[in-house]
């Protein structure tokens, strides 16, 4: 028996997603076969509108419904502090406990030479430019405590020091388990890591 084309197409689409192998792709596809058409339509609709309904903030490069985003345009946020993270999901993780009142800068990745991602492939230049603004006093490096995250933090720190020696540069605290992703850390760990940040 040959697998119908429609099923094969969906399996292949799922396989392109991160963390989904061919077994999971097959399981998801066959699961969806049992879902009523109306629910499938609304699922497809959500995917279709994903990009149309979102915009990348031209200041911090976070993802939101407006540009500048709701954080950058909020007058009560502390503009003297910029927290640098790898992905938009990290912003959500840090915003969840609501203690941090500064701004963010989303790199959209990390320096990763094995995958051909150098400093110019992510939003580092834009951060250096932002940091040269007179309002900015502290840059918190909150990249993940992985090898690539550390290398990225180190690179950014060096660049920032070249441009502006007076800037306070801190690295998010050690409470985070090495190799972990920020987005998976629980709120308390994140809060402690933020409070326990040290000069870098």
Question: Which residues contact Zn ion (rule: CB under 5 A)?
Answer: 57, 59-60, 62, 68-69, 72
User: Minimum Å distance from CB 68 to Zn ion?
Assistant: 5
Cα 185 from Cα 92, distance rounded (Å): 12
Q: How far is the CB of 57 from Zn ion (least distance, A)?
A: 3
Q: Give the whole-angstrom CA distance, residue 126 versus residue 120.
A: 10
Give 67 or 163: the residue with its C-beta nearer to Zn ion.
67
Rounded least distance, CB 73 to Zn ion, Å: 7
Looking at the Cβ atoms of 41 and 67, the one nearer to Zn ion is: 67
Give the integer Cα–Cα distance in Å for 59 and 105: 8
- Report how far apart, in Å, the C-alpha atoms of 108 and of each of 52, 123, 180, 187 are: 19, 7, 17, 22
Query: Do 111 and 151 meet the contact criterion of CB atoms below 8 Å apart?
Result: yes
Q: Which is nearer to Zn ion, 76 or 165 (CB)?
A: 76
Question: Whole-number minimum distance, CB 124 to Zn ion, in Å?
Answer: 16
CB of 58 to Zn ion, least distance (A): 8
**Full strand arrangement of the beta sheet holding 198-199:** 102-106, 78-85, 138-141, 168-171, 198-199
Looking at beta carbons only, is 11 or 57 nearer to Zn ion? 57
Residue 68 phi/psi, 5° resolution? -65, 160
Q: Residue 18 phi/psi, 5° resolution?
A: -65, 135
Closest CA to 84 of 128, 115, 49, 114: 128
Q: Which is nearer to Zn ion, 57 or 182 (CB)?
A: 57
């Amino acid at each position: 028996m040959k697998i119908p084309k429609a099923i094969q197409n969906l399996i292949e689409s799922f396989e392109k997603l991160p963390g989904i192998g061919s077994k999971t792709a097959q399981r998801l596809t066959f699961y969806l076969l049992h879902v009523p058409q109306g629910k499938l339509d609304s699922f497809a609709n959500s995917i279709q509108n994903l990009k149309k309904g979102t915009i990348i903030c031209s200041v911090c490069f976070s993802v939101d419904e407006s540009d500048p985003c709701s954080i950058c345009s909020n007058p009560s946020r502390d503009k003297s502090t910029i927290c640098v993270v790898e992905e938009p999901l990290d912003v959500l993780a840090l915003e969840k406990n609501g203690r941090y009142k500064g701004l963010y800068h989303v790199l959209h990745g990390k320096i990763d030479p094995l995958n051909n991602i150098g400093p110019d492939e992510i939003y580092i230049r834009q951060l250096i430019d932002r940091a040269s603004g007179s309002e900015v006093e502290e840059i918190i490096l909150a990249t993940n405590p992985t090898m690539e995250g550390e290398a990225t933090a180190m690179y950014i720190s060096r660049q920032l020091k070249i441009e502006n020696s007076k800037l306070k540069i801190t690295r998010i605290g050690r409470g985070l388990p090495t190799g972990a992703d920020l987005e998976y850390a629980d709120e308390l760990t994140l809060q402690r890591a933020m409070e326990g940040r040290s000069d870098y």
